[in-house]
Amino acid sequence: MKFSLGLAALSGLAAAAPMELVERQTGSTANELSGPCRAVTFIFARGSTETGNLGTIIGPQVSNGLKARYGNNNVATQGVNYAALLTTNFIPNGGDPQGISDMKNQLTTAASKCPNTKIVAGGYSQGAAVTHQAIETLSASVRNRILGVVTFGDTQNLQDGGRIPNYPPANTRIFCALGDPVCVGTLIINGAHLSYTTDAGPA
């Protein structure tokens, strides 16, 4: 399946984005949804025990890639606020209810506050499970506003058959590193599960 967060619907925006002299880098925390509406809104859920609300392994890197492509001032990045504890991986569906609720609220806010923004979303590890649960239980009107979803080290990859229920597979990309046990239904963490930083470009 060919899919990228660099969606065709955003290609004109990329061409029009002005060159910026200093590229701002996204840190482990981002709360830009509270600011002005921007052409693209990126909402991301970090993995278990990661710092901030974006984490460090892949969330900031995907944000930086979007901003490099479309322009810093054209992308609003928002992290999902939840505890990201190890223990919540073991509840049904593998996602913290607080994170699911917050991500749904963030997506709903983006859709209602910014009717013209292009919404993209994603998650890593437990954050991928949060993303599955948030998107599949959204109202259809909000879910239809999401142009693309990307997950990394997806703890629900096997359980949900390599897709997000109630969301188009063509608009979904799930990155599973070779040798990552999490992607085949276990919660064993190894080096492969921590290797997704280099996938920001392909995403």
> What span, in angstroms and rounded, lies between the C-alpha atoms of 195 and 99?
23
From the candidates 63, 102, 193, 199, which is the catalytic residue? 193
Top-level class of domain 28-199: alpha beta
Tell me if residue 193 is catalytic: yes
- CA dist 82 and 169 (Å) reads 26
Taking each helix axis as running N to C, give the angle between helix 97-113 and helix 126-136, from 0 to 180 degrees, rounded to the nearest 10.
50
pTM for this prediction = 0.87
- Length reported for the chain: 203
125 has catalytic annotation: yes
Domain boundaries, the chain: 28-199
Q: Which residue has the tokens 């629900």?
A: 156
Catalytic residue among 125, 160, 195, 199: 125
Closest listed residue to residue 103, CA positions, set 192, 41, 163: 41
pLDDT in tens, the chain (203 residues): 334 554 544 544 444 445 444 456 778 999 999 999 999 999 999 999 999 999 999 999 999 999 999 999 999 999 999 999 999 999 888 899 999 999 999 999 999 999 999 999 999 999 999 999 999 999 999 999 999 999 999 999 999 999 999 999 999 999 999 999 899 988 888 888 888 887 777 76
